[in-house]
């Protein structure tokens, strides 16, 4: 007497032949997704003239301003966020809150030493994430700057202004080991 019930580890031959192709098909999109999410190594400073140069310059100016007590974090944020889609009182409150957090960095992590670009990720044609290592005396931080350029087609990109839509720093150093090149 033959049983048609499912027994773990025992599959009809027709079913076992389907498992291998299904597993391979499931693995291909995952590999492509992982490959699409990798960070590009930053371009050498000598390789100037890309459409992302204004973004690199904005971040550099931001770090220089927040490190300079004469300019301060408020003016650094104001300049960085001038082309952001945020407006009015909400923008002012956001700048004030972020400035207070930034002003507390030195007390929490030590005085500022330097910064270094550690990653660039393009997501499509009009979204860019820049990642920077912000070196303090006692502990580093990783800053993320997300820029967006609202365009409908590639022909519209010329002359469109990038807007910063998200900004944050991470003290947990959530840098996956597989992103580094040992």
Give per-residue pLDDT as tens, 5-19: 433 444 444 433 333
Give the span between the Cα atoms of 22 and 38, in whole angstroms: 25
Is residue 39 within 8 A of residue 117, CB to CB? The reply is: no
Q: Comparing 2 with 154, which gets the higher pLDDT?
A: 154
pLDDT confidence of 122, banded at 50, 70, 90?
A: very high
Structural domain spans, the chain:
53-172
What pLDDT was estimated at residue 72? 84
Residue the block writes with tokens 């991470």: 170
Residue with tokens 């999410």, as numbered in its chain: 37
- CATH class of the domain comprising 53-172: alpha beta
pLDDT at 39 over 80: no
Average pLDDT taken over every residue of the chain: 74
**SS3 at position 152:** coil
Q: How many Å apart are CA 106 and CA 86, to the nearest integer? A: 27
39-60: average pLDDT: 72
In the chain, % of residues over pLDDT 90 = 46
Average pLDDT over residues 129-147: 95
**Mean pLDDT to the nearest integer, 113-135:** 94
Rounded distance between C-alpha atoms, residue 50 and residue 152, angstroms: 21
Per-residue confidence (pLDDT) for residue 95, from 0 to 100: 92
Lowest mean pLDDT among 14-23, 93-102, 112-121, 126-135: 14-23
Q: What pLDDT score does 27 carry? A: 36
Distances (CA, A) of 84 to 5, 13, 99, 112, 152: 61, 60, 16, 26, 18
Average of per-residue pLDDT across 33-56: 60
pLDDT at residue number 28: 36
Across 27-36, 55-64, 161-170, 173-182, least confident range: 27-36
Backbone angles phi, psi at 134, to 5 degrees: -105, 110
Determine which helix (DSSP H) or strand (DSSP E) holds 113, and give its type and residue range. strand 112-123
**pLDDT value of position 174:** 63
């Amino acid at each position: 007497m033959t049983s048609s019930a499912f027994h773990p580890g025992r599959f009809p031959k027709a079913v076992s032949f389907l498992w291998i192709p299904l597993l391979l098909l499931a693995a291909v999109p995952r590999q492509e997704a992982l490959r699409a999410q990798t960070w590009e190594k930053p371009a050498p400073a000598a390789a100037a003239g890309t459409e992302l140069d204004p973004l690199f310059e904005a971040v550099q100016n931001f770090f220089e301003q927040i490190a300079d007590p004469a300019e301060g974090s408020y003016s650094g944020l104001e300049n960085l966020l001038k082309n952001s889609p945020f407006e009015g009182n909400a923008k002012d409150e956001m700048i004030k809150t972020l400035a207070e957090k930034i002003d507390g960095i030195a007390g929490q992590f030590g005085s500022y030493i330097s910064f270094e670009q550690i990653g660039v990720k393009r997501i499509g044609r009009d979204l860019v994430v820049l990642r920077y290592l912000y070196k303090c005396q006692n502990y580093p931080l990783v800053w993320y700057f997300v820029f967006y350029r609202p365009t409908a087609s590639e022909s519209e990109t010329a002359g469109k202004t990038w807007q910063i839509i998200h900004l944050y720093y991470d003290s947990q150093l959530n840098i996956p080991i597989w992103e580094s090149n040992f």
